[in-house]
Amino acid sequence: MRPLAVAALSLAIAACAAPPLRGTGDLGLVVERASGRVMLIETSGRSSLGRIEGLGDLSHASAVFSRDGRYAYVFGRDGGLTKVDLLRARIEHRVIQAGNSIGGAISQDGRVVAVANYTPGGVRLFDARTLEPLSEVPTGSKVVGIADAPGNRFVFSLFEAGEIWIVDASDPRQPQVRKITGVGKQPYDGFVTPNGRHYIAGLFGEDGLALVDLWAPEAGARRILGGYGRGEEPLPVYKMPHLRGWAVAGRYIFLPAIGRHEVLVLDSVNWTEAGRIAVHGQPVFAVAQPGARRVWVNFAFPNNGVVQVIDVPALKVVHELRPGRAVLHMEFTPRGEQAWVSSRDDGAVVVYDGASFAELARLAAESPSGIFLTSRAAMTGF
Amino acid sequence: MRPLAVAALSLAIAACAAPPLRGTGDLGLVVERASGRVMLIETSGRSSLGRIEGLGDLSHASAVFSRDGRYAYVFGRDGGLTKVDLLRARIEHRVIQAGNSIGGAISQDGRVVAVANYTPGGVRLFDARTLEPLSEVPTGSKVVGIADAPGNRFVFSLFEAGEIWIVDASDPRQPQVRKITGVGKQPYDGFVTPNGRHYIAGLFGEDGLALVDLWAPEAGARRILGGYGRGEEPLPVYKMPHLRGWAVAGRYIFLPAIGRHEVLVLDSVNWTEAGRIAVHGQPVFAVAQPGARRVWVNFAFPNNGVVQVIDVPALKVVHELRPGRAVLHMEFTPRGEQAWVSSRDDGAVVVYDGASFAELARLAAESPSGIFLTSRAAMTGF
């Protein structure tokens, strides 16, 4: 074969060296926080498919997904926004967009990625395809609890200002902002219910939660569970609970209490307290297993080597797991047959059978924290 | 270039002729019922990607998806079960498994496909990878309303026998059957609520619905809405409503009434009637738009050129669309920003903006009926 032909053949083969065809519905990422990389996983065979490096500071990192499930958008603590191609296992785009970001969301139509920033306070909107910056919504306050809502809206809370803002990003170069003021002292996190109707922010500076009906935002915020904890002396708070993972199971919402060894149960029909469940430590995440029958809870230091499972009809703990030291996150496959749990200090991601609690797999990972599956692409409020 | 080199290059290029890499989260199928084929669609650009032929009799066909979103399992009326590779746009496997099938489901773990048969009555289980037959559950009665439920269970109704059966397919070669007898006369369809807890069957032979709590199946079935329609003279029934599409929007379930120009509203907290909504004709599907704010309804002949949109908080019709003649089906993208609607007699699939109702696209299709998106792979009860 002559050199030209060899070159042409090599080129053709190189062009061929694409990864094998595969669906993206069973893919996900595990954040390896200490090393600035993510591990690519798949849940059908429960295996690791590789690693993607160079994502910067991934402490407290989170991720959302493109509507086709091919790309992840990873929000790093250093303000880095990284678009990862899961099929090619490589970084597609990366921008450093602010000094200190705390999370993000993707619009209902999948065209806009929003990043929430502590420093400087505000929300920045990016083109989901190119990561080109589109606009900025300055807030003058730390932004927490950002979530997407129907109508290409983003909803978030302002920590110092005590406000909830709703940004309509239908025209992402000219976002429309609705401000709800006086929602309460120091909202520290918030979330949109899975049906996209309500936004709920937890308050650190006083008792209770702020509730906004996104079908009637002009009505403002309403205080719920205002009497909770009144007159009691809370424990020192080792770690703020995360509300993004607050669990909606049927009519009940399960809330990790701040500074208490309790999970609160909120009735979403009448927005009153439906119970309190004593648990092993200060809860961090309370996550509803799809199927709404069980809620899994992890805990703050020093009780963070345990996961407890709450039975929803009984409203009590029925099972306890010990995946390893420093359990940071839990993620269910979308139909609930598997639970993926990260143990940072044992360097493991443990996969459990969602029905029998049997350990199905244990993958080695370096200081794993957040676990994010592509099924989030199809969900509102993630 | 010498012949050998040319041959090698051609071979290399042919090996390369794999479809381009793409995510599967925005893919779907439209059944072209008259021609035994399906149209492959994608919802990001709202386009047709091609057609797959040779699926047999597709009248009344439906589809479920593999957990990775790559494969569709299409259930044909002639008993054909066809596994379609969406990435290669071709048939992967096909079996003729019975004389007359009426639908199917895929297990929670994605390993087992169940097909419900009219003739002979029964349910057959197949390996999702190979379509190898695994076992059979004979019923001696037409099987209707099959749906998956947590715990790798399949739930379905027996038309003549008036029973609801729950099959645990955790060991699919030896399925375990629980029979609930005396649920009512002639259950004609049924569905599992999105949270996987309840199975509801509609009754044709008497008033009301049969409700089973899958968390406590030993308690049997309970009659709900038993008084509905009592003493009233129903209209002739032009087409049985479909319950698979019954709409759960927040606490309400919207039910197409049989033989009446009404949609019933069922309160899922106390299982009582919460209202009736007058509509344009005899409803066939009532489908909740993700976001739970609106329910879209299509109709039986002769009123089948219209789609009406119900506002959930107002419990009334607020909008009307005319996509074309003989509207057979509606499917929403999982976050609700688009509605895909098939007009059989105008040979069109029409895509609407879920917020503004603007027509976004109109694709030519031959007698289109069912529309099925891969996002169903992540849902329980589809």
Between B195, B249, B290, which is nearest A292 by CB? Answer: B195
Check A69 against B110: CB less than 8 A apart. Answer: no
Check A150 against B8: CB less than 8 A apart. Answer: no
Which amino acid does the sequence have at A265?
V
Compute the distance between CA of residue B378 and CA of residue B334 in angstroms, rounded to an integer. 10
Q: Is B318 on the interface with A (CB under 8 A)?
A: no
Mutation target among B40, B41, B67 for the A interface, most CBs of A within 10 A: B67
Per-residue pLDDT of chain B (382 residues; tens, 9 = 90+): 455 554 555 544 444 567 889 999 999 999 998 899 999 999 999 999 999 999 999 988 999 999 999 999 999 989 999 999 999 999 999 999 877 888 999 999 999 999 999 888 999 999 999 999 999 999 999 999 999 999 999 999 999 999 999 999 999 999 999 999 999 999 999 999 988 999 999 999 988 999 999 999 999 999 999 876 555 666 677 777 888 767 888 889 999 988 889 999 999 989 999 999 999 999 999 999 998 799 999 999 999 999 999 999 999 999 999 999 999 999 999 999 999 999 999 999 999 999 999 999 999 999 999 999 999 999 999 8
Tokens of B326: 């003989």
Report chain B residues whose CB lies below 8 A from the CB of A336: 108, 150, 196, 380
The model carries a pTM of 0.94
Check A13 against B12: CB less than 8 A apart. Answer: yes
Tell me phi and psi for residue B144, to 5 degrees.
Answer: -130, 160
CB B187 within 8 A of CB B200: no
Name residues 252-311 of chain B within 8 A of A (Cβ): 269, 290-293
Check B378 against A378: CB less than 8 A apart. Answer: yes
Q: Is A9 on the interface with B (CB under 8 A)?
A: yes
Check A249 against B195: CB less than 8 A apart. Answer: yes
Mutation target among B2, B21, B199 for the A interface, most CBs of A within 10 A: B21
Compute the average pLDDT of residues A176-183. 98
Report chain B residues whose CB lies below 8 A from the CB of A24: 23-25, 68-69
In the prediction, which pLDDT does A63 show?
Answer: 97
Compute the distance between CA of residue A174 and CA of residue A195 in angstroms, rounded to an integer. 26
Tokens of B345: 């007699």
Total residue length of chain B: 382
Q: CA B233 → CA B96, B104, B205, B299, distances in Å?
A: 42, 34, 14, 20
To which residue do tokens 């037409």 refer? B142
Check residue A222 and report its DSSP letter: E
List the end-to-end C-alpha distance of chain A, in Å, as a whole number: 55
Taking CA–CA distances from B17, the nearest residue in chain A reads: A16
Q: CA B134 → CA A149, B109, B169, B172, distances in Å?
A: 43, 16, 10, 6
Confidence of residue A34 (pLDDT cuts 50, 70, 90): confident
Compute the average pLDDT of residues A337-363. 97
Return the closest-CA partner of residue A83 out of A103, A60, A61, A66.
A66
Name residues 36-65 of chain B within 8 A of A (Cβ): 42-44, 65
Q: Is B358 on the interface with A (CB under 8 A)?
A: no
Residue A381 Cα, gap to closest chain B Cα (Å): 10
Residue A196 Cα, gap to closest chain B Cα (Å): 5
Tell me phi and psi for residue A183, to 5 degrees.
Answer: -80, -15
CB B365 within 8 A of CB B347: yes
In percent, the amount of chain A with pLDDT more than 90 equals 79
In the prediction, which pLDDT does B207 show?
Answer: 86
Confidence of residue A380 (pLDDT cuts 50, 70, 90): very high
Please state whether B183 falls in left (phi above 0), alpha (psi between -120 and 50) or beta. alpha
Q: Environment class of residue A26 by beta-carbon count within 10 Å: exposed (0-12), middle (13-18) or buried (19+)?
A: buried
Check A87 against B380: CB less than 8 A apart. Answer: no
Compute the distance between CA of residue B18 and CA of residue A122 in angstroms, rounded to an integer. 44
Confidence of residue A26 (pLDDT cuts 50, 70, 90): very high
Mutation target among A16, A253, A311, A335 for the B interface, most CBs of B within 10 A: A335
Residue A99 Cα, gap to closest chain B Cα (Å): 31
Between A25, A87, A293, which is nearest B215 by CB? Answer: A293
Q: Is A66 on the interface with B (CB under 8 A)?
A: yes
In the prediction, which pLDDT does B233 show?
Answer: 63
In the prediction, which pLDDT does A235 show?
Answer: 62
Q: Quote ipTM for the complex.
A: 0.93
Tokens of A263: 């999970």
In the prediction, which pLDDT does B1 show?
Answer: 45
Confidence of residue A1 (pLDDT cuts 50, 70, 90): very low
Between B16, B21, B151, which is nearest A16 by CB? Answer: B16
CB A280 within 8 A of CB A261: yes
| Mean confidence (pLDDT) of chain A | 92
Check B355 against A12: CB less than 8 A apart. Answer: no
Check A68 against B24: CB less than 8 A apart. Answer: yes
Residues A66-84: tens digit of each pLDDT: 999 999 999 998 999 999 9
Between A1, A70, A335, which is nearest B108 by CB? Answer: A335
Confidence of residue A97 (pLDDT cuts 50, 70, 90): confident
Buried b (16+ CB within 10 A) or exposed e, B233-254: eeeeeebbbbbbbbbbbbbbbb
Q: Is A214 on the interface with B (CB under 8 A)?
A: no
Residue B5 Cα, gap to closest chain A Cα (Å): 6
Q: Is A18 on the interface with B (CB under 8 A)?
A: yes
Whether the bond between B120 and the residue before it is cis, its omega within 30 degrees of 0, is: yes
Compute the distance between CA of residue B39 and CA of residue B32 in angstroms, rounded to an integer. 7
Return the closest-CA partner of residue A371 out of A326, A329, A339, A336.
A329
Compute the distance between CA of residue A48 and CA of residue B110 in angstroms, rounded to an integer. 19
Counting one residue from chain A and one from chain B, the pairs whose CB atoms sit within 8 A come to 198
Compute the distance between CA of residue A148 and CA of residue A107 in angstroms, rounded to an integer. 6
Residue B142 Cα, gap to closest chain A Cα (Å): 28
Taking CA–CA distances from B338, the nearest residue in chain A reads: A109
The upper half-sphere exposure of residue B33, i.e. CA atoms within 13 Å in the direction of its Cβ, equals 22
| Residue spans of beta strands (DSSP E) within B181-231 | 187-192, 198-203, 209-213, 221-224
Compute the distance between CA of residue B198 and CA of residue B201 in angstroms, rounded to an integer. 10
Taking CA–CA distances from A17, the nearest residue in chain B reads: B16
Q: Environment class of residue B336 by beta-carbon count within 10 Å: exposed (0-12), middle (13-18) or buried (19+)?
A: buried
Q: Is A129 on the interface with B (CB under 8 A)?
A: no
Taking CA–CA distances from B332, the nearest residue in chain A reads: A378
